[in-house]
Homo-oligomer: A and B are copies of this chain.
Amino acid sequence: MTLRGILGVAVVGAGRMGADHVRRLDRATSGARVAAVADVDRERAERAADGVEDCAVHSEPLAVFDDPAVGAVLVASPGPAHEEVLTAALERGLPVLCEKPLTPDPESALRVVRAEAALGRRLVQVGFMRRYDAGFRKLKSLVDSGVQGRPLMLHFRHRNVSSPPGFTGPMTIRDSAVHEFDTVRWLLGQEITAVTVVRPAASSGAPEGLGDPQLLLLETSRGAVADVELFLNCGFGYQVACEVVSERGTARTGDETGPVVEGPGARCREIPPDYLVRFADAYDLQVQRWVDAARRGTVEGPDCWDGYAAAAVCEAGVRARETGARVAVETEAPPDLYR
């Protein structure tokens, strides 16, 4: 293993998530520093870079590739802007951590996959941070160990306090449920083959027309079934929980938050307010592991193909949501690089 000095990272996109990554790389990551921040809103980039030593600021994302201090790129700009940055990084052979989605649709995702496959080496990691959450990692170990036999069913809960302004039906699939799609694929090591979306009566607490909550059914290539409660306006907290039901036992994660507090008539545990709190450690670990791998010249996390496969399931999910029917997932065969 060779670590090649401190990794200079360019953060592209300085919104909430990008700014959080700047802070993380600057304060909580070993072996890396923020070499540049780019955002089409230059002021936003400057705010995010404020206080970071030796950090360039750009209003043009591609400008980061001309900076010799930049050895890797973290992409946190909106999805439609990803393909251009990813393509540029692949051309220059720079490692990338790309916030999900890889790109907004399977077609563009497939172009990125093919470009990387043509290059013949993996450079791109997709930001499915749940794979770095301690609880999910323990579920994964347990499933992989086989001690409970084959996994047969997965039960997911995915609840947010409220959906962001302007959130649409398709976004409930592409921006929220996409995490469960990746989690199913990763936990089971199986592809998702079909999606059905069941729509209960909408909550009066959800925006008119959003049709929140939803119940998703996912079928996999070796016959497991996952159900996903997706409730984006539950009002009371952020919850991500998963139960794996195997042939001889079950395991679940998602309820382990903090001290027990006893007060008037009740014994309570806090529910975190949002994903930045719930998955703070997972984000830290994801970035640290990505930096560690990049300094060794490798990529080890979820890859381009995972990004493409998730996009393909999203496409089926969006149609399933609109039609009420079971929709089969269609994907290309994976290039050799990802087998």
Contact of A258 among B138, B219, B229, B231 (CB under 8 A): B138
When distances are taken between beta carbons in the complex, the residues of chain B under 8 Å from A259 are 135, 138-139, 142, 251-253, 256
Whether A6 lies near B6 (C-beta < 8 A) is: yes
Whether A250 lies near B235 (C-beta < 8 A) is: no
A155 interfacial contact with B, CB 8 Å: yes
Whether A265 lies near B273 (C-beta < 8 A) is: yes
Number of this chain's copies in the assembly equals 4
> Which of A21-29, A76-84, A116-124, A330-338 touches B?
A21-29
CB of A289 to closest CB in B, whole Å: 10
Interface string of A231-275 (1 = CB under 8 A from B): 100111101000001011111110111111111111111110100
Whether B213 lies near A235 (C-beta < 8 A) is: no
Q: How many residues of A contact B (CB 8 A)?
A: 77
A198 interfacial contact with B, CB 8 Å: yes
When distances are taken between beta carbons in the complex, the residues of chain B under 8 Å from A205 are 149, 247-248
When distances are taken between beta carbons in the complex, the residues of chain B under 8 Å from A237 are 262, 264-266
Q: Which 6 A-B pairs have the closest CB atoms?
A: A201-B223, A268-B268, A200-B225, A249-B263, A266-B268, A253-B259
Seen from chain A, the residues whose Cβ lies within 8 Å of a Cβ on chain B are 1, 3, 5-6, 25-32, 51, 53, 134-135, 138-139, 142, 148-150, 152-153, 155, 198-201, 203-205, 213, 215, 217, 219, 222-225, 227, 229, 231, 234-237, 239, 245, 247-253, 255-271, 273, 281, 288, 292
Q: Which of chain B's residues has its CB closest to A252's CB?
A: B260
Whether A261 lies near B142 (C-beta < 8 A) is: yes
Q: What is the bound-complex CA distance between A155 and B51, given in angstroms?
A: 43
Q: What is the bound-complex CA distance between A30 and B198, given in angstroms?
A: 46
Q: A245-B229, A268-B267 are in contact. Are A155 and B152 (CB under 8 A)?
A: no
CB of A277 to closest CB in B, whole Å: 11
Q: Which of A198, A223, A248 has the most CB of B within 10 A?
A: A248
Whether A236 lies near B263 (C-beta < 8 A) is: yes
Whether B152 lies near A203 (C-beta < 8 A) is: yes
Contact of A149 among B199, B204, B245, B261 (CB under 8 A): B204
CB of A7 to closest CB in B, whole Å: 12
Q: Which of chain B's residues has its CB closest to A280's CB?
A: B134
CB of A102 to closest CB in B, whole Å: 27
Whether A217 lies near B198 (C-beta < 8 A) is: yes
Q: What is the bound-complex CA distance between A53 and B263, given in angstroms?
A: 43
